[in-house]
A and B are shown apart, each in its own frame.
Chain A
Amino acid sequence: MAIQPILKYPHPVLKKMAHKVERLDTTIKNLLQDLLDTMKAGSGSVGVAAPQIGVSLKVCVIDVSTSKHGKDNNHGLLCMVNPEIISASGRRAVMREGCMSMPDYTGDVERDTDIKVRFLDGQTGKEREIPATGFEAVAIQHELDHLDGILFIDRVVNISTDLFRRKKYV
């Protein structure tokens, strides 16, 4: 398979809700391989979602094990088909994110710190459920957002405005 070019916003596919995968067939296996090749080719990239290479399907690959933020806390390579977050602890934290589909821009995004995600494992073909925390949880939420047509810029918070906002005490 092959490294695919990463689509950049404003490509319309990035803002579309991706379709659910019906069967884990050769097409999907090939798609997973393309995503994997593309992720490995992107310097420092820890995840790629199918819409980023122009395929509007609920498929993504994630691997934070090579990044300094995730090397001590990860599930290795995750090949996710039809993933969904089934629970979150409610605790949230802010991290400054960047995305290959929106070059030259970074912003602070608040996300859940502890999540549980269910997906069809593209490597084994079996249904899987894993808890994720820390950077891996952030990466999963970022990639799953791509499958819903959401970019990190849709979630950017501005810390300084919050810090200096004058409250009205009644």
Chain B
Amino acid sequence: MPHSELTHYAVSVVGSDKHGIVAGIAGALYRLGCNIADSSSAMLAGEFAMILIISHRKPFNKSMLLEELKPVCESLDMTLSVRHLPSGEEHRADTEGEICQITVYGADQPGIVYRITSRLALSQINIMSLQTKLAGTDEEPVYIMLMEAMLPDSLTPESLEELLKGLKEELQVEIEVRVVTPVEL
């Protein structure tokens, strides 16, 4: 189906984990005739979170979507949010730069995420995915950040490591940069 005939929405569903969340949401979308394009779900502490990009053939509107999804979310006690995507936003912008996996970990302290990510933002580095986890023990909590980021053309993975060196010493954390740009085979 040509893309121009489709309308896209971003749907997110969050709530305490239980059986049947994915099936409940997928069922509602199926009954509506929606396509699930990209989606990602994760369990964070005891919460289950789903983010989905869905599409539907025009004409279709937000209230039709809410009418089917709302009762399902209420019965599952999940918080629902729906956003219509303006045309053009359903595609990721073409990406050219080197993709790096950045791992940061160390003794937990305030500001790790803020300090690291604001340094990246300052250098026009685009975060594509980010997961953080509070691990270790109650007495010695360890904070772990796992990111994938796209470097601008002007930056190499080595220069990124150099760039983060100061923060590494200041925060006393380990910072590892690994290139994960896909190879076409």
Residues of A contacting B89 in the complex (Cβ-Cβ under 8 angstroms): none
Residues of A contacting B133 in the complex (Cβ-Cβ under 8 angstroms): 164
**A interface residue numbers (CB < 8 A to B):** 42-47, 67, 69, 95-100, 106, 108, 135, 138-139, 142-143, 152, 160, 163-164
**Dominant secondary structure of chain B at its interface with chain A:** strand
Residues of B contacting A135 in the complex (Cβ-Cβ under 8 angstroms): 183
Residues of B contacting A143 in the complex (Cβ-Cβ under 8 angstroms): 185
Residues of B contacting A45 in the complex (Cβ-Cβ under 8 angstroms): 184-185
Cβ–Cβ contact A98 & B182, under 8 A: yes
Partner pick for B180 among A46, A96, A99, A138, CB 8 A cutoff: A96
Given contacts A160-B131, A163-B146, A164-B133, contact A142 B185 (CB under 8 A): yes
B87 at interface, CB cutoff 8 A: no
24 intermolecular pairs with C-beta atoms under 8 Å apart: A42-B184, A43-B184, A45-B184, A45-B185, A46-B184, A67-B183, A69-B183, A95-B183, A96-B99, A96-B180, A97-B183, A98-B183, A99-B184, A100-B184, A100-B185, A106-B182, A108-B180, A135-B183, A138-B185, A139-B185, A152-B185, A160-B131, A163-B144, A164-B133
13 more A-B contacts (CB under 8 A) besides A97-B185, A98-B185?
A43-B184, A46-B183, A47-B185, A69-B183, A96-B181, A96-B183, A99-B184, A100-B185, A138-B183, A142-B185, A152-B185, A163-B144, A164-B131
